[in-house]
Amino acid sequence: MKWIALALFAAVALLLPFVAGDFYVNLASQIFIAAIFALSLNLLVGFGGMTSLGHASYLGVAAYLSALMTTRYGFGHGAAALISILGTVAMAAFFGLIALRATGLGFLMITLALSQVLWGLAYRMSGITNGDNGIAGLTRPAPFGISLESPAAFYWFSLLAAIIAFVMMTIFVSSAFGSSLKGVRDQPRRMAALGFNPWMIRWITFVYAGFWGGIAGLLYVYYNKYIHPTSLSTTSSAEALLGVIAGGSGTLAGPAVGATLVLLLKNYASAYVERWNMLLGLVFLFIVLVMPTGIVPGLQKLASRLWRRPS
């Protein structure tokens, strides 16, 4: 099952730029970016048991930093990317100190509040961020002299990034550290009694998730060549969270599937279904009622049931 899905994905991913029009290639690039973002959020939600409603902070801050560094301060893309990621990670480290004082709904609210503060600053400090007009006129980097301007080039770039992100995050959660993270999620007291430091484990995960959120943000701003405070808004955070849950939090492929679903409903189905917001809501309702733990676990269950029946 897993291998079939993987082979199918590989075939589609390799062929797509050759058979599909620019619009679909661009749509796929956006899917990769959304998938990286969802995967990073899932480290918190699925593996750490920390439901964040402020993950757009990292995407937005990395994007803003990159935009500011390249336009206002005249840095090259390489240096700007480095500064953006370092800045985002530093911010995640600091936010972690505050947010991890709470759990459950408190954690959700404090992450929401932190991201709202950033949104407010981006909106109000128009002298720096250009406020509601956003920052336009951005460029894409040209790593090793290869231009990313064409849809296909950017597609390969974001696909590569998505694969690296997926592998890195898979290694992270499959490692001994990942096991202790799941331990902290399920049995924090027992883990503490066993000599682990639950707070430290959560904090490291929080920062690591922030790092990948920042990477998604860089790709996001390269893709859009424009950045606006809405990228920091609760709506962006909520969309990612809904994708993670719908796809199946705590699984590796789930968030990517969920993010793809949300993105396709929003950016593709909306051309055909006028009431796409309602459709989105109905799809969520349907998923929870039919597959309460998400699409990927639901399909796995279904597949294993079909597998067993003949034998």
Partner 1 sequence: MQFWIIQGLNSLSLGGLLFLLSSGFSLIFGLMRLANLTHGAFFMLGTYFGAIALRDYSGLNLWVTAIGAGIIVAALGGLFERLVLTRLKTNPLGQVLVTLGMAFIISDACLVLWGGDSIPVPTPHNLQAPTRLFGFVFPTYRLVLVAIAIATAIGLYILIDRTRLGAMIRAGVDDRQMARAVGIPVSRLFTIVFCLGAGIAGAAGVLGGPILSAYPGLDADMLPLALIVVILGGIGSLFGAFIGSFIIGFIYTFGTVLFPELAYIILFLPMIFVIAFRPQGLFGRLGT
Partner 2 sequence: MTISRRQFVVSALAGAGAASLASPNLSFAQGSGPVRVGLLAAKTGPLASGGIDMELALTMFLKDRDHTLGGRKVELIVADTAGVPATARTKAQELVEKNNVHCIIGPLAAFEALAIIDYLTEKQIPTLGVSAAEDMTQRHPSPWYVRLTSTSAQCAYPLAEYSFKELKYKKIVTIADDFAYGHEMCAGFQRVFEDNGGKIIQKIFTPLATPDYGSYVAQVKTDADAIFLGTAGSNGFRFLRQFIEYGLKDKIAVIGGMTALDESVLRNMGDEALGIITTSWYSATLDNPLNKVFAPEFRKQFKYDPGYYAASTYLSGEVLEGALKTIKANAEDKKALMAAIRGNNVDTIRGPIKFDEFGNVIGNVYIRKVTRTDGRLVNSVIKTYPDVSQFWTYNKTEFLKNPVYSRDYPPAKNLEL
* Contacting residue, 170, 224, 230, 234, with partner 1 by CB under 8 A: 234
CB 40 within 8 A of CB 223: no
Site string for partner 1, 73-112 (x = CB under 8 A): -------------------------x--xxxxxxxxxx-x
Burial 117-151 (b: 16+ CB within 10 A, else e): ebbeebbeeeeebbeeebbeebebbeeeeeebeeb
Shortest Cβ distance from residue 226 to partner 2 (Å)? 5
CA distance 127 to 131: 7
**What token pair was written down for 82?**
């480095």
Establish if 246 lies at the interface with partner 1 (CB under 8 A): yes
Shortest Cβ distance from residue 57 to partner 2 (Å)? 16
Shortest Cβ distance from residue 280 to partner 1 (Å)? 5
Contact stretch for partner 2 (CB under 8 A) within 154-162, 182-190, 264-272, 303-311: 264-272
DSSP 271: G
Establish if 79 lies at the interface with partner 2 (CB under 8 A): no
* Contacting residue, 177, 196, 203, 276, with partner 2 by CB under 8 A: 276
Shortest Cβ distance from residue 143 to partner 1 (Å)? 37
Residue number with CB closer to partner 2 (101 or 124): 124
Give the three-state DSSP class for 141.
Answer: coil
- Of residues 34-53, which lie at the interface with partner 1 (CB under 8 A)? 45, 51
DSSP 135: B
CB 59 within 8 A of CB 236: yes
